[in-house]
């Protein structure tokens, strides 16, 4: 018997991702966004791998249509895709501690990739050597702090919310 593409669980998870992506459009602290949480959550709970990548990327792309495109988008999307891979691994054993570790790992990966890309493209006024790269990373620490807080906050909302709702509606918990 073939699995249905749009199960109640899939619709719920996609809806949560779309709602979280909408949160990028409202005023927020710099980098305090649901980007990594969306990718982790999609990777962990969307049963079809193609959807696990497609839905978070599409949600980001749609919100970027409103926010505007920028030169570091490729790096942002690469970090997002890596985070989906982390979510796929997480989906095998979703527990609060693992979600926290995955969220922190995603924050670090996002910070390293996007700051490196900005530095490489000359978007930052730092020399094109190791010292300049380190200056770029140090300058990005306040944004990293907000990113970690945002990733942890939204991961708690998405994963914790799914856990609570699936306790009330056990059919959601079934893969």
User: Exposed/middle/buried for 145, CB within 10 Å: 0-12, 13-18, 19+?
Assistant: middle
Position 37 confidence tier, pLDDT thresholds 50, 70, 90: very high
Do 52 and 167 meet the contact criterion of CB atoms below 8 Å apart? no
What are the phi and psi torsion angles at 80 (to 5°)? -60, -45
Domain ranges of the chain: 8-18+31-169
Say which residue the tokens 């890596």 belong to: 82
Residues with Cβ within 8 Å of 96's Cβ and at least 6 positions away in sequence, in order, are: 159
Whether the predicted pLDDT of 4 surpasses 80: no
The count of other CB atoms within 10 Å of the CB of residue 44 is 26
**Average pLDDT, integer, range 75-88:** 95
Whether 90 and 43 have beta carbons less than 8 Å apart is answered as yes
Higher pLDDT, 115 or 31: 115
In whole angstroms, give the CA distance from residue 85 to residue 117: 20
pLDDT in tens, 98-140: 999 999 999 999 999 999 998 998 877 889 899 999 999 999 9
Nearest to 106 by CA among 95, 118, 116, 114: 114
Residue 4 to residue 10: CA distance in whole angstroms:
10
pLDDT in the model for residue 163: 94
Cα–Cα distances in angstroms (integers) from residue 103 to residues 13, 37, 98, 132, 155, in the given order: 18, 7, 8, 28, 7
**Distance of alpha carbon 159 from alpha carbon 72, whole angstroms:** 28
Tell me the C-alpha to C-alpha distance, in Å, between residue 92 and each of 5, 95, 139: 20, 10, 36
Q: What is the pTM of this model?
A: 0.88
């Amino acid at each position: 018997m073939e699995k249905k593409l749009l199960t109640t669980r899939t619709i719920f998870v996609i809806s949560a991702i779309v709602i979280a992506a909408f949160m990028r459009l409202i005023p927020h602290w710099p980098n305090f966004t649901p980007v990594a949480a969306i990718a982790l959550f999609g990777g962990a709970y969307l049963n079809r791998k193609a959807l696990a990548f497609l839905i978070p990327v599409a949600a980001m792309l749609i919100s970027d249509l409103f926010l505007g495109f920028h030169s570091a988008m490729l790096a942002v999307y690469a970090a997002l895709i890596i985070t989906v891979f982390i979510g796929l691994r997480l989906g095998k054993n979703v527990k609060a501690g693992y979600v926290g570790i995955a969220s922190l790992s995603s924050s670090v990966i996002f910070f390293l990739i996007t700051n490196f890309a900005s530095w490489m493209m000359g978007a930052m006024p730092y020399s094109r050597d190791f010292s300049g790269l380190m200056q770029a990373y140090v300058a990005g620490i306040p944004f990293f702090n907000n990113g970690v807080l945002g990733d942890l906050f939204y991961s708690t909302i998405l994963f914790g919310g799914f856990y609570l709702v699936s306790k009330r509606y056990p059919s959601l918990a079934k893969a």
